[in-house]
Amino acid sequence: MNSLKQNNKTAISPTRKEDYPEWYQQIIKAADLAEVSPVRGCMTIKPWGYAIWENMQRVLDDKLKATGHKNIYFPLLIPASFLEKEAEQVTGFAKECAVVTHCRLVHNDEGKLVPGSPLEEPYIIRPTSETIIGEAFSRWIQSHRDLPLLVNQWANVMRWEMRTRMFLRTSEFLWQEGHTAHATANEAQTEALKIFDLYAQFAEDYMAMPVIKGEKTATERFPGAVNTYTIEAMMQDRKALQAGTSHFLGQNFAKAFNIKFLGTESREEFAYTTSWGVSTRLIGGLIMTHSDDNGLVLPPKLAPVHVVILPIMHKEEQRAEILAYCDQLAHDLRQIQYDNKRIIVEIDTRELTGGEKAWSWVKKGVPFRVEVGQKECQNNAVFVGRRDLEYKERVSQNRQEFLATIATQLDEMQEKLHKRACDFRKQHTLHIDSKADFYDFFTNTEGGFAEAHWDGNPEIEAKIKQDLNVTIRCIPSQETPQPGKCIFSDNKSPQRVIFAKSY
């Protein structure tokens, strides 16, 4: 019945151990999350992948609205001249942007479609919207009464990436970008930190993905930012994933775009701004945090389906009874609340064997699979498989008991995934106190997060990056930083920072 288990094979080949990057691609394929598109560097997000994104959006959007942010929509295109205003953004984004130069296609002599009417000024497809939003803020903000201004947009953006990987780095991606303006540096800083906390809570509570909160070094900051706050997660190959960033932009953008307001003492002042975003990259993080060699594993709070019911019918005459039992079960499950919503249930009536059906949902990461055959109908039972347990650990449960405990069981699975990821990170995070050990860790071992002292010198950062392809992921936010001695220079170090290879 289950050929996979008989052969002791995994559903995904290669395994994580055999070839992690290829395993990642195969997980996406097996769960039917997305596919590479015929457009260079872009992906098509398929229904299962998009449903996960919608779940993420709903939670984040609610949180952002609850903290006073309003959604807006700015144009996709940005006049090239806007990039000239913010010198740092130019170096950051001009190198990798899609440029619109014409507004018509015409047939050439060979009958091919080629660009027709040239535009007076080129536009770029937004790589991020600070510049065009800055222009608007300069008009919208006149007085201190117009502040704070807190807006957010859900949008597609484009950065012409050379090496792409689905969800993690694609030329086009979907995200939310928040942009705010404030009267004082302190208020803007507080806002940037508030969102930083919100992102971290979302990662921990919903994605079950532990993150380290910290500041980026000057080298790794967003172009034009005074401070970039980041949440960094460890993937199962022990590389770091930057999962979300929140930027305190000081008055840099306000000066570039002339965002001024009349203060309480009738003096004109530049506003202080922030920007922050998370993207479909989070789906990549979700995949790489929890999935195993049998496919995707979804934390229940973000799963598009919580329970899939699999009717197992060996004979035609059993059909009506089994399907009726499944319908009633689905109905009863849908009355139950989980995470302030109703439990989402699907019944898989496809004409496949029980094993084929079950494994297709294993690969899609659905938290609970419930098999229902003749025996279950007779015994008022259900045969339950939980995605984070071994396939063979399926158990028979009384139907009423299953209904009474399913919400708790979903909670338990959510917590267990979080704990497992925390344990994994802990296991692969080391204090490193000498340069030799540091080089050894990133050369001769499987690596992970190295917590080491660093004196703040960007030249050391550059050297490490060049030697080992390792960067400082963040300077962790700590209540009482412990000073020490830089392991590269012997100079004083204010606190340990996190070094890792990264996506």
Q: Which residues bind a copy of itself (CB under 8 A)?
A: 35, 37-39, 42-47, 50-51, 53-54, 70-84, 90, 94-106, 111-116, 122-125, 132, 135-136, 151, 155-156, 158, 160, 172, 174
User: What's the rounded Cα separation, in Å, for the pair 444 and 434?
Assistant: 15
Closest CA to 45 of 367, 344, 298, 281: 281
Say how many Å lie between the first and final Cα of the chain, rounded.
Answer: 40
**Looking at the DSSP assignment, which residues form a beta bridge with residue 114?**
106
User: What's the rounded Cα separation, in Å, for the pair 127 and 82?
Assistant: 12
Look up tokens 């030249």; give the residue: 459
CB of 14 to a copy of itself, least distance (A): 24
Give yes or no for a contact between 153 and 302, defined as CB atoms under 8 angstroms apart.
no
Query: Which C-beta is closer to a copy of itself: that of 7 or that of 266?
Result: 266
CB of 288 to a copy of itself, least distance (A): 21
User: What's the rounded Cα separation, in Å, for the pair 276 and 231?
Assistant: 12
Buried b (16+ CB within 10 A) or exposed e, 320-349: eebbebbeebbebbeebebbeeebbbebbe
Relative orientation angle of helices 399-427 and 319-334, to the nearest 10 degrees: 60
Phi, psi of 65 (to 5 degrees): -65, -40
DSSP category for residue 481: -
Query: Which C-beta is closer to a copy of itself: that of 80 or that of 282?
Result: 80
Query: Which C-beta is closer to a copy of itself: that of 46 or that of 435?
Result: 46
CB of 16 to a copy of itself, least distance (A): 27
CB of 391 to a copy of itself, least distance (A): 26
CB of 120 to a copy of itself, least distance (A): 9
CB of 475 to a copy of itself, least distance (A): 32
Query: Which C-beta is closer to a copy of itself: that of 104 or that of 375?
Result: 104
Query: Which C-beta is closer to a copy of itself: that of 24 or that of 50?
Result: 50
Neighbours of 270 (CB within 10 A): 18
CB of 350 to a copy of itself, least distance (A): 8
DSSP 408-448: HHHHHHHHHHHHHHHHHHHHTEEE--SHHHHHHHHHHS---
Token pair belonging to 434 = 């000498």
CB of 292 to a copy of itself, least distance (A): 26
For CA atoms 167, 170, 175, 177, the dihedral sign is positive
Query: Which C-beta is closer to a copy of itself: that of 125 or that of 472?
Result: 125
Beta strands 337-338 and 268-270 are unpaired
Phi, psi of 236 (to 5 degrees): -75, -10
Closest CA to 470 of 462, 478, 482, 459: 462
Query: Which C-beta is closer to a copy of itself: that of 138 or that of 291?
Result: 138
CB of 385 to a copy of itself, least distance (A): 24
DSSP 250-276: TTHHHHHHT-EEE-TTS-EEE-EEEEE
Give yes or no for a contact between 369 and 333, defined as CB atoms under 8 angstroms apart.
no
Query: Which C-beta is closer to a copy of itself: that of 210 or that of 284?
Result: 284
Query: Which C-beta is closer to a copy of itself: that of 101 or that of 379?
Result: 101
Phi, psi of 415 (to 5 degrees): -65, -40
CB of 147 to a copy of itself, least distance (A): 14
User: What's the rounded Cα separation, in Å, for the pair 61 and 154?
Assistant: 9
Query: Which C-beta is closer to a copy of itself: that of 160 or that of 338?
Result: 160
Query: Which C-beta is closer to a copy of itself: that of 136 or that of 430?
Result: 136
CB of 407 to a copy of itself, least distance (A): 23
Beta strands 345-347 and 307-311 are parallel
